[in-house]
Amino acid sequence: MEAMPIALTVDDAPSVFAPGSPDFDPGRMDRVREALQETGVRHCVAFVIGERARDHREPLRRWLEAGYELGNHTEAHFAASRVGADAYLEGVRGCHALLNELGAFDGGRRAYFRHPFGDRGAAGGAREAIDRAIAQLGYTHADVTLNLHDYCYEAPFIAAAHTADAARQTRIRARYRRVADACVARAGKRGAAHWGAQFMHVAACHFGPLSEHELGGLVRDLGSRVAFRPLAEAIETPAYRRLAADLSHNGIAGDLLHRRLRDRALRKLARSTRRLGLFQQSRLGPCWPHLAP
């Protein structure tokens, strides 16, 4: 079977959580980088949150020195539709200045941009203005089509770590690996049906505790089923270019793969059984995060 091509990206560099939080750890970016290098992943783009990275530049420099790339994830990770176009673009420019200082786009490196939460802004004029301004700064959109859902497991994993519950941590890690593997398989099948056989997925996880511990293992699990390719290749496929140019959709592009009648029915069931925890499984994270209410 031919390997499924995927462009791997990691959001929220250098670390999830706000500076000052006990769970904010800029060194996590180094450990993710080391895991990628050890498993032979040569191509990866880290999307930077400016205010989290400004006082922690060394992990970003080491990321670039390793041959990986950096992209713009705004200054403060606000959703565009909640702050208005002017405030949002101020955040885009703030992160852009930091990336330029780091030399992120030197040597012919391409400039990539990712909206926090996939939120492109309020429909209509605001969304179009944001899109034009980002293009004028030289950025290419990098929408997520394969969501690895690691963020769904960060809170229970950290809670287990804080209580030294090693058994629960092990169960959360095992569940996440199964879920992430299933996400890749599902995206491969549905992506081909939705966007065409030549479509190349853009996968995303985060600089959080699960990726720190599990990304390398996930790469090994996927083995020859997946070929990690440069993001530049993915965004040049015709289907991806159409997707990025379509301002009618908002949110994570990969969610478009989960709008089938069966998925909608399961999400409705999940909402109606929320109190029973059948879908959410808050102690271990969700069994099926793409169906979580």
Q: Which helix (H) or strand (E) holds 189?
A: helix 166-195
Of residues 188, 147, 174, the one with CA closest to residue 289: 147
**Checking DSSP bridges between strand 146-147 and strand 140-141, what pairing results, if any?**
unpaired
For residue 276, the enclosing domain spans: 260-293
The DSSP bridge partners found for residue 201 are 6
Is residue 91 within 8 Å of 50, Cβ to Cβ?
A: yes
178 and 290 assigned to the same domain? no
150 and 169 assigned to the same domain? yes
162 and 84 assigned to the same domain? yes
Angstrom CA distances, 198 to 5, 65, 188, 194, 249, stand at 9, 32, 11, 11, 22
250 and 266 assigned to the same domain? no
Q: What pTM did the predictor assign?
A: 0.93
174 and 291 assigned to the same domain? no
289 and 246 assigned to the same domain? no
Sequential pLDDT tens for the chain (293 residues): 689 999 999 999 999 998 889 899 999 999 999 999 999 999 999 999 999 999 999 999 999 999 999 999 999 999 999 998 999 999 999 999 999 999 999 999 999 999 999 999 998 889 999 999 999 999 999 999 999 999 999 999 999 999 999 999 999 999 999 999 999 999 999 888 888 878 899 999 999 999 999 999 999 999 999 999 999 999 999 999 998 888 888 888 888 777 665 555 655 655 555 555 555 567 898 887 877 65
Strands (DSSP E) found in the chain: 4-13, 45-48, 69-72, 112-113, 140-141, 146-147, 201-206, 226-228
What is the model's pLDDT at position 256? 79
Question: What CATH number should be reported for the domain holding residue 201?
Answer: 3.20.20.370
249 and 267 assigned to the same domain? no
38 and 182 assigned to the same domain? yes
165 and 121 assigned to the same domain? yes
286 and 203 assigned to the same domain? no
235 and 280 assigned to the same domain? no
Q: How many domains does the chain have?
A: 2
Helix (H, G, I), strand (E, B) or coil at 141: strand
11 and 111 assigned to the same domain? yes
What is the model's pLDDT at position 255? 81
